Structure 1
Amino acid sequence: MANFVFRRLLLAIPTLWFIASAIFLLSKLMPGAFGSEHLAQQEAGYYSRSDAASRDHSYRLFLKTTGQDLPLFYFSITSAAMPDTLHRVFPERDRAFLQKLSWQYGNPDAAARFFRSLKTLETDLSETERQQVQEHLYMIYSHREAADLQQATAGIAAKLPATNISRSKNLESSARLLASPSGYTYLLPSVQWHGDQNQYYRWLSGLLQGSLGTSLRDGRPVATVLGEAIGNTWWLLLASMAFATMLAMELAILMVRRSGRMWRSTLLPSLFLLDSIPLFVLAILLLVLLANPAFLQLFPVYGMGYYNAFDQSWLEQLSQWLQFMALPMICLVLANLPYLTNQFYQAVTAVAGQDYIRTARAKGLSEHRVIRRHMLRNALLPVITLLADFLPALVAGAVIIETVFAIPGVGRLLIDAVLTRDYPVIVGIVVIVAVFRLLSHLLSDLLYALADPRIRSHAS
C-alpha cells in the first residue's frame, strides 16, 4: 500500500506542473496588463505633458519591477515582420498598433521608426495642437491603405507650427519609407531565444521555492491573499458536500426499498425539475424567498466579512457565520442533490438483484440490515470516484455562489483577479484547486483499496 501511494504521488508531480504551467501561459494570453486600463482612463482627461510623462514612467517602472516587461517563455516564434522587442511596448493599445504596422507593411525597422516618430510627436504636442490634428491622428491609428497614412501625416505637417515642423516632417518621411514595397517578409518565421530572462522562468523558480508570487493589486504574497479567502470557501464546500452526500444517500435508500414506489414517483420528477434550474437562478430565488423583507427574511442578504467580531465569543462568531452561510450551503446542496441522488440510486439498484442480496434476504435479515450492511458496501465502489470529483467540481459553483451572496472567498477572489488581470492570484488559485483535485483522486484510490480487499492486495 505504501508503494502504491508513493507511485501515485510521484505521478502527481508532473501532472501538477503541467496544469499549473498551462494555466500560467494561458492567463498571459488575456488582453491587457495590470494597470493598463487605469492608465488609459487617466489619459482620457485633461492632463499636462509632465503628468502624462510621469504616469508613463511610473507604469513602466511597475512593469519592470513585476517582470511584465520580459518575454513570456524561453523562446518565441513569430513572423519575421514583427520587431524583436515588441513585448516591451506598453500600453497594450500601442503594442497592437505597432504589431498592425509591422504585419501590414512587412518592414519591422520602418514600422518601429514610424512608431517612435509618432510617439515623439504626440509627446511634444500641446493640448491646443492636439485638438487641431486630432482627426489626422485618428486616421493614422485606423488607416487601412498606405495612401491614407501619407495623407494623414501630410495633414499634420500642414497644420502644426514651425516649432514642430521638424518632427512632423520626420513623421511624414518615415511614413513614405514605411509604405515602400518590402516583399513577403511576413511569410517568413522568426525564432527568438530569450534564455532565462522570461516570465515563466521567474514564476517557476518561485513556485519550486514554495512561493506563489506577489499580488499585482496590493503587493502582498499570493499565499497570504489566498489564506484570507480560503477559509470561508473550504467550510462552505465541505459542509455542502457532507450534507448533499448524506441526503442523497438517504433518498436513494428510501427509493430502493420495497415500499419505495410512492417515493420514486414523487422524488424523481421533483429532482428532475430541481436539476433543470440554473445555479444562479436558484441562488436568486432563495434570496427572494428567504432573504427578502417583502416576503420572508430569515437570513441576511449580504455583509459577511464587514462585521466586527473582535468583541464576540467563538459561539457568537459561529452563530453569525452560520447566518450568512446557511443560504449558500442550501443552494449548493440543492444544486448537486439531483445528480448525487441519481448516482446513488443507480449504484444501489445495480447490486439489489445480486445473488448475495437474495441470500441475505433468505436468511431472514431485515430490509434495513440488507441495505445498510450488504448493498451499500458493494455500491460504494462506483460512488467513490464520483465523490472524489465532487469536491473540486463544487469550486465552479462556489464562484457563482460567492458572487451572488457577496461571500469573501476564493470564488469571489478569482472573479476580482480576472477582472483586474491579477495573474499571480489567478494562477495561485488554479494551483490550489489542482492540488486538491490530485489529492482527492489519491483519496479515492485509498478508499477503493479499503472498500475492496482485492484492490488492496493488488496494490501492495
Structure 2
Amino acid sequence: MGNGNLLYVLRLGGVKILLLLLVSITGFTLLHLAPGDPLSQFTLAPGMTAERLAQIAHGMGLDQPLWRQYLHWLHGIMTGDWGRSFRDQSPVLGIIVSHLTATIELGLAALGISFSLGLGMGLMGALRAGRTVDDVTSVISIILFSLPTFWLGLVFIYIFSVRLQWFPTGNFSSPGDRSIVGYLRHLALPALTLGLVSVPVWSRYMRTFAGEILKQDQIRTARALGLSSGRIIVHRLLRGALLPMIPVAGIYLPTLLSGALVTETVFSWPGIGRLFLDSLQYRDYPVVMGVLMFSAILVLVSSTLAELLHHVADPRLRA
C-alpha cells in the first residue's frame, strides 16, 4: 500500500470515528433529556419508598451528572462492556445479538426483492429512455417511494392475512410449527413490505448510471462491431453501472438491516428494530444506546469498506 493510499485510509477512518463519537453524544443527550425516566416503572410498585427509589437510581447510575454518566458509558463501550439492561440485568450486547438473526434474515429477504426489482426497472428505464416503459417505471418508483411502510404493511395484512388467509399476520413462527414452509410464510409479508418500499433506491440509481453508460463511446463502438444486445448489456452496461453502486450498497445495506423498525413493529418481527422500540418505551437506556451504537457502527464500517472497495475497483479513483 502506497503512502497516498495509507493516508486515504487513515483520513477516512478518522472521519468515521469522529462521526461515531458525535452520534453517541447526540443520542445519549437526547435520550436522557426526553420526558420520562427508567424509575417511573418502579414508582407504582407496592411498598416503594423514596429511600428505596434513591437506592435504585444509585444502582443504575442515574444520580450522577449527565456528563459523568456519558463518560462511564463510553468507557464501557470502548472496553467491550456495553452495560446491562435496566429491565432484567441481561448484557446489552447479548440482547442485541439474540435479536440480530431475525433482522438479518428479514433484511436479506427484502434485499433480494428490492435489488432484483429495482435492477430490472432501472435497466428497462435506461434502455427505453423517453418511452412508455421509462415513464411507467418512473411512476411505479414514485408510488413505491411515497407509500408509508406501516400503511403498506397493514394493507398486506388485511388483504393476504385477514381476507385471503394466505399468510400469518405476524410473529416469527406459529406455535408448534417449526417447518421451513411455516417460517417462509411468516417471512413473506414483512420481507415484501420492506423490499417494495426500497425498490426506488436501486431503480433510480440503476436508471441514472446505466443511462450515463449508454451515452458513452464504448457502447456505440460495441454496436458498430456487431455485438449482440445481450452481450452489450451483460458485459458493458451492467458491469459499468454496478461499479458506482458499490458505495451506495455500503450505505444502504446496513441501513436496511437496522432501519426495519416500522416493518418489525407492524408484523411483530423479533428483530433489533422491534427491540429498539420496546426498549425506548421502557426507557431502557443501555439497550437503546446499544442498538443505536450498533447500528451506527454497522453503517459506518460498511460505508467505509464500500468506499475502500470502490477505491480499489475503480482505477480512476486510484489515479
TM-score by length of 1: 0.63
Q: Could you say which residue in structure 1 is the equivalent of 2:63?
A: 69
Counterparts of 2:259 and 2:75, CA distance in 1: 32
Shift, 1:272, TM fit: 2.5
What's the CA shift string for 1:172-197, capped at 9, x where partnerless? xxxxxxxxxxxxxxxxxxxxxxxxxx
What's the CA shift string for 1:185-226, capped at 9, x where partnerless? xxxxxxxxxxxxx21222122112101111101111101111
Q: Could you say which residue in structure 2 is the equivalent of 1:146?
A: none
Counterparts of 2:136 and 2:212, CA distance in 1: 21
Shift, 1:308, TM fit: 5.6
Q: Among 246, 255, 279, which residue is 1:393 paired with?
A: 255
Q: Could you say which residue in structure 2 is the equivalent of 1:224?
A: 94
Instruction: Assess if the C-alpha contact under 8 Å between 2:210 and 2:237 holds in 1.
Output: yes
Larger radius of gyration: 1
Shift, 1:236, TM fit: 1.2
Counterparts of 2:175 and 2:185, CA distance in 1: 13
Counterparts of 1:7 and 1:397, CA distance in 2: 28
Counterparts of 2:229 and 2:130, CA distance in 1: 12
Counterparts of 1:334 and 1:228, CA distance in 2: 27
Q: Could you say which residue in structure 1 is the equivalent of 2:103?
A: 233
Q: Could you say which residue in structure 1 is the equivalent of 2:165?
A: 297
Q: Which moved more, 1:211-220 or 1:444-453?
A: 444-453
Shift, 1:254, TM fit: 2.6
Shift, 1:35, TM fit: 2.7
Counterparts of 2:282 and 2:174, CA distance in 1: 22
Instruction: Assess if the C-alpha contact under 8 Å between 1:256 and 1:349 holds in 2.
Output: yes
Q: Could you say which residue in structure 2 is the equivalent of 1:9?
A: 13
Counterparts of 1:259 and 1:433, CA distance in 2: 38
* Equivalent position amino acid for 2:170 in 1: Y
Instruction: Assess if the C-alpha contact under 8 Å between 1:254 and 1:260 holds in 2.
Output: no
Instruction: Assess if the C-alpha contact under 8 Å between 1:253 and 1:371 holds in 2.
Output: no
Task: State the SS of the aligned residue for 1:297.
Answer: coil
What's the CA shift string for 1:295-319, capped at 9, x where partnerless? 211111123267467xx5xxx3x43
Residues 1:33 and 2:1 are matched in the alignment: no
Residues 1:329 and 2:191 are matched in the alignment: yes
Shift, 1:428, TM fit: 0.4
Shift, 1:377, TM fit: 2.7
Q: Which moved more, 1:267-276 or 1:440-449?
A: 267-276
Q: Could you say which residue in structure 1 is the equivalent of 2:304?
A: 442
Instruction: Assess if the C-alpha contact under 8 Å between 1:254 and 1:263 holds in 2.
Output: yes
Residues 1:369 and 2:237 are matched in the alignment: no
What's the CA shift string for 1:43-80, capped at 9, x where partnerless? xxxx8xxx3xx43332221111111111111xxxxxxx
- Structure 2: gaps (5+ residues): none
Task: State the SS of the aligned residue for 2:99.
Answer: helix
* Equivalent position amino acid for 2:123 in 1: I
Instruction: Assess if the C-alpha contact under 8 Å between 1:233 and 1:410 holds in 2.
Output: yes
Ranked by relative contact order (alpha carbons within 8 Å, sequence separation 6 or more), the top structure is 2
What's the CA shift string for 1:391-449, capped at 9, x where partnerless? 24325751100110001111111111111111111110111111111112112213313
Counterparts of 1:336 and 1:454, CA distance in 2: 30
Pair 337,409 (structure 1): closer, same or farther in 2 beyond 3 Å? same
Q: Could you say which residue in structure 2 is the equivalent of 1:319?
A: 181
Pair 25,308 (structure 1): closer, same or farther in 2 beyond 3 Å? farther
Counterparts of 2:100 and 2:131, CA distance in 1: 43
Instruction: Assess if the C-alpha contact under 8 Å between 2:96 and 2:272 holds in 1.
Output: yes
Instruction: Assess if the C-alpha contact under 8 Å between 1:284 and 1:404 holds in 2.
Output: yes
Counterparts of 2:209 and 2:316, CA distance in 1: 20
Q: Could you say which residue in structure 2 is the equivalent of 1:57?
A: 51
Task: State the SS of the aligned residue for 2:66.
Answer: coil
Report the identity percentage. 32
Counterparts of 2:201 and 2:18, CA distance in 1: 32
TM-score by length of 2: 0.89
Counterparts of 2:130 and 2:231, CA distance in 1: 16
Counterparts of 1:325 and 1:269, CA distance in 2: 28
Counterparts of 2:50 and 2:292, CA distance in 1: 32
Counterparts of 1:335 and 1:280, CA distance in 2: 10
Pair 339,441 (structure 1): closer, same or farther in 2 beyond 3 Å? closer
Residues 1:282 and 2:172 are matched in the alignment: no
Task: State the SS of the aligned residue for 2:204.
Answer: helix
Task: State the SS of the aligned residue for 1:291.
Answer: helix
Pair 377,447 (structure 1): closer, same or farther in 2 beyond 3 Å? farther
